[in-house]
Structure 1
Amino acid sequence: MTSTVQIPGYIAGTWDIDASHSTVGFSVRHMMVSKVRGYFREFSGEIVTAANPADSTVTATVDLGSIDTRQEQRDAHIRSADFFDSENHPQMTFRSTAVRAEGADWLVDGELTIKGNTKPVTLALELNGFGPDAYGGTRAGFSARTEIARSEFGVDIQMPMDGGGVVVGDKIAVELEIEAVLRAA
């Protein structure tokens, strides 16, 4: 027996990510005592919500040169060959491979590519809603989270600290707040 998941207000269609109302952010352990947060200022993407939500797809591109951790010297270092090598690898991409319900939760499986290295990732997805906007259009909101190991993507600089530990942790918490606009038919 199969059951169809009901999502209040769900609308099937093709949506463009509204970067001015969305955030692609992250946090990473710093000096073993705190976390540094940052985000990317430039990104784009497309979400296709299918009649059956499990058939939906997501593609997104992030401009790695647009990193902002609120400290320009650190941002320049992260753009360098030590980390992203954004001159040779200007973009990070995500392409979904499956959307699935797990109980009341939604998961988006996909392939994340950084520095030419593609690895599987799973985003824990929260559907925030669908509805009209003030401009005669329709909007949808999504939150998603995952954790990746930067070393798996070739972002593997080691910066040990005297007395043990590292300056920058390997695990990166990725946090997305996405608002998307339904394309006109």
Structure 2
Amino acid sequence: MNATSATVAIPGYLVGTWKADPVHCEIAFSVRHLMLSKARGRFTSYDVTIVTSEDPLGSSVAATIDLASIDTGNEPRDNHLRSADYLEVEKYPTMSYRSTGIRRADDGWVIDGELTLHGVTGQVPLAVEVNGFGPDPFGGQRAGFSATAQINRRDFGIDSTILMDGGGVVVGDKVSISLEIEAVLQK
């Protein structure tokens, strides 16, 4: 492996194909509710593949998320989110993300990519922190990443709006996304 300036900045960096370990990952979101607080949830079924290249800037990420796996801790709300009012999972069962480039940012990395949700594809950058690379107790190698992004649900055709008396909306447009990914190096 050539030690470029980028790899030197990532201790233990390894080249290879990595799969997310669902036991040690979280794909979560939050959105304003009643303009007062945030409703939070996560997706429990997904496939995430990360390919680290000799030069980290040539690496890639691909993810597919089963939208029916949404879990907010409230079954009636989850069912409503799965309905045609929001995610419309019978018509659009998954959302996917595919990186189109990686670049250095002041305090970490940015993965540029395309999110496909509700039949619409849009550019969504992920701000990424590389948490590290290292051995696990089972003889394998692991890598950890944290990432955040924000999307506007209306940009993806999810425009169900319930107005509140006196102004405001029940569910906000801006959705904050956070990912905690622990990935296992594939042999």
**Cα drift, residue 115 of structure 1:** 1.0
Shift in Å at residue 104 of structure 1? 3.8
Which of 35, 40, 55 aligns to 1:37? It is: 40
> How much is the aligned-residue C-alpha RMSD, in angstroms?
0.8
The alignment status of 1:147 with 2:150, answered yes or no, reads yes
TM-score norm. by structure 2 comes to 0.95
CA distance in 1, matches of 2:29, 2:85: 18
- Distance between the aligned counterparts of 1:173 and 1:103, measured in 2? 21
Aligned residue identity for 1:79: R
Length-normalised TM-score, structure 1: 0.97
CA distance in 2 between partners of 1:97 and 1:19 (Å): 24
Partner residue of 1:86 out of 82, 89, 111: 89
Q: Distance in 1 between matches of 2:106 and 2:42?
A: 31
Deviations 1:152-180 (A, max 9, x none): 01111011101000000000000000000
| Secondary structure of the structure 1 residue equivalent to 2:85 | coil
AA in 1 matched with 2:157: G
Instruction: Please state if 1:4 is matched with 2:5.
Output: yes
- Report whether the alignment pairs 1:115 with 2:121: no
Aligned mates of 2:107, 2:117 — CA distance in 1: 31
Q: What is the aligned counterpart of 1:16 among 7, 12, 19? A: 19
Corresponding residue pairs, total: 182
Q: Aligned residue for 1:164?
A: 167
Which stretches in structure 1 are left out of the alignment for 5+ residues?
none
1:25 paired to 2:28: yes
1:82-103 deviation digits (Å, cap 9, x = unpaired): 0000011000000000011123
Q: Deviations over 1:126-159 (max 9, x none)?
A: 0001000111100000000000000101111011
| Secondary structure of residue in 2 paired with 1:20 | helix
Alignment identity in percent?
Answer: 54
